[in-house]
Structure formats: C-alpha cells, structure tokens
Amino acid sequence: MPLFHDRALEEHHILITGASGGIGAETAKVAIQTGSKVTITGRNEEKLQELTDSLKGKGSINYVAGDLIDQEDRERIVEKASELHGPITGLVNSAGIAFGATLEELQEDDIRKVMELNYTATVLFTQLVYRQMLQQEKGAIVNVSSLSGLRGTHGNIAYSASKFAVIGFTQSLAIEAIEHNIRVNAVCPGFVDTEMAQNILKKKAEKQGRSFEEQMEWAKGTIPSGRLTSPEEVANSIIYLLTDAAENIVGESMKISGGNVMR
C-alpha cells in the first residue's frame, strides 16, 4: 500500500545515485509514486535500463549511467538530468560500497577505494547539485549512511570510517544549507536485505565456517525485531525526508535498524 499521496512530490525532480539495485532502486520505485520526476544513476547501465523500463508507465523517469568517482561523469550526470527533467530539487546519495577488514588485514588501496566512493565522490557530487539548489533557494538532500556511521563494529574500519564521515558531512552541510531553505539529512540503516548485505554475510559465513543460512539466522538473532530491514522500508524513510512533511527535520540521522542500534 502506498504511504504517500500521489502528488506529494509533484513538480519536483529527484536524482538518485546508486540506483542499480538495493536501496537506490527501491527509492526510485517509491519516488515515482509521489508524482515526482525521477532521474536515476549508477554504473550498471543494464540494471538502470531494466528499472527505468519497469517504471516508465508509472511516471516520468530516465537514467544517466556514470561513475561518480570520475569528475567528468559527475558533471555529465547533473547536466543531463537537468536537461531531461529541469532543475534538481531532491538528491538521494545512495551510491556506496561495503568492505570488511580488520586493521591487520587492511591495505592502503582498500581505504582509498572505500573513502573515495562513500565519502569524497558523495561530497563532490552533492556540490554540483547543491549549486542548482542555491539558485532556486529550495531543495532537500538525503545521504544514505549506515548504523556503522554511528558506532564501530569488528572488522569494519574502512567502511565505518567512511559512513561516520558522511554523518559529519550531513550535519555540517545542514547548517549551511538551511539558510537557503535546503534541508539535509541522513538515514542510517542497519542490516538491509540487499545483495550487498547478503555478500557480507556470505563472507562472514566463510570465515566462521558456517553456511549462509546459519549466518543469516545468526544475524537475525542479533536484531531485537528478529529480521533484516527491507529496502522498501529504507526508501519510505528517504522519501519522507524529501517531502514537506519533514520541513523542520534538519541535520538528523534517522536510524532504521529493527532496534539493533540499542545493542
């Protein structure tokens, strides 16, 4: 059942990164139900095309494939998105990679890769979109951080550090942006039932000599609600933060973890 009015984001243009799958793809599905124009981006053009085709009959959606690490791609994505649907009024920074390693296992290149996409590229891409929002004196930005951006966990140094950085970026930009009627917030999901999370569980299962099914049951057992969060639940939270219903929510980090934040 749709949670939002079909005109909740009418006359808005939402740009979603990391939309090749997982949270980004689900956010596009929810966004299109609100009447907004949607542009999705990611590195996997085939998946972007599939998602766009599946939503074409439900609203106005297009994709622009590209790599956020590349400056020319970042500029091209924003330029093309604006040509397709006009000025961007909402940005969802969902692109990111996961990487698990203890300090002893960590390599310099690992740190660079994780920080470059999860933090640096996010900041630089936001900068381009933010300039448009400043001209309009309105907008909303939602950064997808993580529960790992609020607390450290074993074997998660590079990823956790990158997501802590996203929280710092969110809060600092929120203070600057609200002066121009632009709201900036973050969502901090715990374990979400995505391909990325499943790959993490598979690697942990291998390290600990368990089957994937056993590792999944173990993961569920660590969450008070007894289950993983669905991508749609995260997407609903993101879209809420983009709507006028959240007009006085500024610089917040919304936790979506089934209670896992308390453990």
Fold of the 13-191+230-256 domain: Rossmann fold (3.40.50)
Instruction: Give pLDDT, residue 197.
Output: 84
For residues 92 and 108, give the distance between their C-alpha atoms in angstroms, rounded to a whole number: 29
Please state the domain extents for the chain.
13-191+230-256, 193-228
Provide the mean pLDDT of the chain: 95
pLDDT mean over 60-67: 98
208 — pLDDT class (breaks 50, 70, 90): confident
pTM here? 0.95
- Please state which of the ranges 108-117, 120-129, 144-153, 195-204 shows the lowest mean pLDDT: 195-204
pLDDT mean over 241-263: 94
Rounded to 5 degrees, what are φ and ψ at 255? -90, 135
Residue 118 to residues 79, 162, 201, 204, 250, Cα–Cα distance (Å): 22, 6, 20, 22, 21
Per-residue pLDDT tens over the stretch 83-98: 999 999 999 999 999 9
Rounded to 5 degrees, what are φ and ψ at 205? -65, -45
The three-class DSSP label of residue 172 is: helix
Per-residue pLDDT tens over the stretch 11-45: 999 999 999 989 999 999 999 999 999 999 999 99
Catalytic sites, residue numbers: 159
Spatial CB neighbours of 136, under 8 Å, sequence gap ≥ 6: 87, 89
1 — pLDDT class (breaks 50, 70, 90): low
Per-residue pLDDT tens over the stretch 247-256: 999 999 999 9
